[in-house]
Structure 1
Amino acid sequence: MTGLARPRPFRVSSFADLDPSLTDAHVAIGNFDGMHRGHQAVLEKVLAAAEADGRPALVLTFEPHPRDVFRPDQPVFRLTSPIAKARIADALGLDGMVTIGFDRAFAATPADAFVRKVVVEGAKARSVAVGWNFHFGAGRSGSPTLLAEAGLRHSFGVTVVEPFSDEGGTAVSSSRVREALEAGRIGEAAGLLGYRWFFEAEVVHGDKRGRTIGYPTANVRLPATARFAHGIYAVMIEIDGIARPGVASFGRRPTFDNGAAVFETHVFDYTGDLYGKTVIVTPVTYLRPEMKFDGIGALVAQMDQDSAEARAALSALTPLTPLDRALLFDRIGG
């Protein structure tokens, strides 16, 4: 089915909610936080299998992140929300995404029952693809080897994808992406992801101070787990399907109140009302760390410089990959 018009909704919470045309599919299974190049290697196996026999290609993932369930005191910095995962999966050419709720009861499902209920009865999978470190079932007792053995019994194929390494020979992982973003190494994160990282959020009311100094901003509040580096960024912000350039600050506003962290974007040459809209923000370049200024004049002078640097950085943008083009560049306008 890949390559044809895909049924909607693209993302559902159970196999029962899938369009009937998406049964008897090839399925990639995993948590896939980040949908990075290693995850894409798994998805490519499913896409190839689906293309070969004209069947759908699906991705099965879980929500919330298992670590948030078992170690709620140590919540993970989530790279991709379910909405972001679906956006990426759609851009890659998959036909649908199933996001199963993950809790302690689901985690206690015996491995053989997981195969029967999820893979055989739920997905009705022709084949599945998983990463080399995929585990499932109570106590993580299910392994890729066990899955392959179950595939022989239940007549579905199993492909296990080995670790995917970057050009330096180091395995790509979600942890490496998080570390790069936390350090402000945006380019490194993009190289690991195969696209420029983005997040979606709703624009909320702020103190409206920016408009008084010539820099009105679209403010979004992010989860406390969003631990990417505080500082100033050149960004693209998608509003109503159109990606526009801007400059953004993420941090505690030390010149004013040093309060809770807020992501504030000044959208260049835009005057529309954004309150209540969900926007998609793509940090492109980390310009500098957050700073405290002696007064408004010094702050505005620095903001003028930041804006000029952001415009220059964004004017030189080129797609990293076809996926990066689909997620960002095909949406640039205005």
Structure 2
Amino acid sequence: MKTWTRLDEVPGDLRSVVTIGNFDGMHNGHAKVIASCVDRARRAGASSVAITFDPHPTQVHNPGVGLELIFPLNDRIDAMAATGLDATLVVHYDASVYTLEPEEFVVEFLVERLGAVEVVVGEDFHFGRANSGTVDTLRELGRRHGFDVVMVTDIEAPEGRRWSSSWVRELLAAGDVTGAARVLGHLHRIRGTVEHGFKRGRELGFPTANLHGDIEGVVPGDGVYAGWVVRTVPGTSSTEFLPAAVSVGTNPQFDGDKRTVEAHVLGRSDLDLYGERIGVTFVARIRPMASFDSVEALLEQMDDDLRRTASILGVAVAGRVAPDSVTAG
């Protein structure tokens, strides 16, 4: 899939079927809209193109809301590429875009640059200055400028709720990463740079990769999770998936006050991840965060966490590692 970040990167002779959206999280509803775009483009002998925006419009118009993207732009683009799209146009969302009247947006982006023959959108699609354009507006502009409009009806979960990014955020806040994965259609992942911590886990036989300051993606609610550490093997382009027990919270056992993500890779004492940018993928929540009456009780629980993590991930059970065998700096 080609990725364009400026209009002048788009070929001048393009003929396309276009879909438009923020696509944050690339959940099942997004996937349905994009799949329709890809299918209709193939049948029309045209290119399938998605327009998405960065930063998210809510972050621009309502910064006080503190909206966190479900996952970062690069992951969004990767997920969009997996749908079979031919190209994605990432539009820098600023006043030059959100002050355009609906017809100005259509002419500048869809007609003159992308050569749209069809535009595929969801039921709640809005565009143009103050979101004044609707699907009906787009249909009228399509008749005027020579493209058809296809509306994809909302897709609902079995319980009747519409798939949405806000639903994903609710589930993640509650620590329900399994439910979030069902809505997303894929496991949830965050990214961050491994930092030095207090090294308490190492002393207890559970060395961890700690993420705190520059995390991209929505961090699930406090608790202990089974998941994967995802990293690029140094000096290569290969991706490595490492089974991990992941703790999210402030570490109440030791009166912590900083919320961190700490990932213990099962059975490994030879990893030095400091300074690496890694991904942490969440598979299932094992238990809520808790404090214990003694360190011994904590260790007993952590041993059980490792067993449950291995069972969920389908890997060999690994116990604590010897503190003096840890090679990280």
| TM-score category of the 2 structures, normalised to the smaller one | 0.7 to 0.9
Counterpart contact for 1:76–1:225, Cα < 8 Å: no
Secondary structure of 2:151's match?
Answer: strand
1:290 counterpart residue number: 289
Instruction: Give the distance between the partners of 1:78 and 1:247, measured in 2 at CA.
Output: 24
1:220-261 residue CA offsets vs partner (Å, 9 max, x unmatched): 225598352111000022122122211000111112242221
Counterpart contact for 1:107–1:137, Cα < 8 Å: yes
1:132 counterpart residue number: 123
1:99 counterpart residue number: 90
2:253 counterpart residue number: 255
Which amino acid in structure 2 is aligned with residue 132 of structure 1?
E
1:41-89 residue CA offsets vs partner (Å, 9 max, x unmatched): 1101111012223432222111122222122111223212211111111
Instruction: Give the distance between the partners of 2:114 and 2:66, measured in 1 at CA.
Output: 30
Distance 1:213 1:104, change over 3 A: same
- Following superposition, the deviation at residue 104 of structure 1 comes to 4.0
Which amino acid in structure 1 is aligned with residue 304 of structure 2?
Q
1:16 aligns with one of 8, 17, 38: 8
- Following superposition, the deviation at residue 269 of structure 1 comes to 3.4
Secondary structure of 2:39's match?
Answer: helix
Counterpart contact for 2:190–2:216, Cα < 8 Å: no
Counterpart contact for 2:28–2:163, Cα < 8 Å: yes
Instruction: Give the distance between the partners of 2:128 and 2:254, measured in 1 at CA.
Output: 50
Superposed, 1:306-325 pairs within 5 Å as: 306-315=305-314
1:162-203 residue CA offsets vs partner (Å, 9 max, x unmatched): 111112222111111111111122222111111122222222
Counterpart contact for 2:36–2:120, Cα < 8 Å: yes
The number of aligned residues is 307
Counterpart contact for 1:22–1:95, Cα < 8 Å: no
- Following superposition, the deviation at residue 306 of structure 1 comes to 0.6
1:281 counterpart residue number: 280
**Deviant stretches of 4+, over 4 Å:** 222-225
Secondary structure of 1:255's match?
Answer: helix
Which amino acid in structure 2 is aligned with residue 213 of structure 1?
L
Instruction: Give the distance between the partners of 1:256 and 1:73, measured in 2 at CA.
Output: 32
Q: What is the TM-score with the length of structure 1 in the denominator?
A: 0.85
Distance 1:227 1:245, change over 3 A: closer
Superposed, 1:69-218 pairs within 5 Å as: 69-218=60-209
Instruction: Give the distance between the partners of 1:223 and 1:201, measured in 2 at CA.
Output: 4
Counterpart contact for 2:29–2:164, Cα < 8 Å: yes
Secondary structure of 2:85's match?
Answer: coil
Secondary structure of 1:242's match?
Answer: strand
- Following superposition, the deviation at residue 301 of structure 1 comes to 2.1
1:229 counterpart residue number: 221
1:325 counterpart residue number: none
Instruction: Give the distance between the partners of 1:23 and 1:219, measured in 2 at CA.
Output: 46
Matched, 1:64 2:60: no
Counterpart contact for 2:177–2:220, Cα < 8 Å: no
- Following superposition, the deviation at residue 291 of structure 1 comes to 1.1
Q: What is the TM-score with the length of structure 2 in the denominator?
A: 0.86
Secondary structure of 2:188's match?
Answer: coil
Distance 1:310 1:210, change over 3 A: same
Instruction: Give the distance between the partners of 2:21 and 2:13, measured in 1 at CA.
Output: 19
Distance 1:31 1:267, change over 3 A: same
Unaligned runs of 5+ in 1: 1-5, 317-334
Unaligned runs of 5+ in 2: 233-238, 316-329
Q: Which moved more, 1:270-279 or 1:297-306?
A: 270-279
1:245-282 residue CA offsets vs partner (Å, 9 max, x unmatched): 11000111112242221111111234232223222221
Instruction: Give the distance between the partners of 2:216 and 2:273, measured in 1 at CA.
Output: 23
Higher Cα radius of gyration:
2
